[in-house]
Amino acid sequence: DVKVTQSSRYLVKRTGEKVFLECVQDMDHENMFWYRQDPGLGLRLIYFSYDVKMKEKGDIPEGYSVSREKKERFSLILESASTNQTSMYLCASSLSGLPTYEQYFGPGTRLTVT
């Protein structure tokens, strides 16, 4: 079974703090994704990576950056957290050989910025 783990289930940070969200997958997947999930807005793609050290902007990259130094690990960074970044953050991975629609998700990190 593919396993995608996220470093924290719940996180509370203050406005202006630098925040790191970590994601690890154990199935040697090439592609990794960061989404945020908000009620009524669905899942929106922040960034994705199709290889180590490669990254591409998704639909809402403003205020975020990412890092992928190892194939299994993909980090989302909030350089200066703001209250409008309070959300559920979901990490996902997929294998390049599989259909594009088959992504495996972690359980999510609920981030609250006060």
Q: Is 25 in the site for another protein (CB under 8 A)?
A: no
# residues near another protein by CB under 8 A:
26
d(CA 102, CA 38): 21
DSSP letter string over 35-104?
A: EEEETTTEEEEEEEESSTT--EE-S--TTEEEEEEETTEEEEEESS--GGG-EEEEEEEE-TTS-TT--E
Q: Is 45 in the site for another protein (CB under 8 A)?
A: yes
Q: How far is the CB of 90 from another protein (least distance, A)?
A: 6
Q: Is 97 in the site for another protein (CB under 8 A)?
A: no
- Which of 11, 58, 67, 73 lies at the binding interface for another protein (CB under 8 A)? 58
Binding site for another protein (CB under 8 A): 4, 31, 39-45, 48, 50, 58-59, 90, 92, 94, 99-108
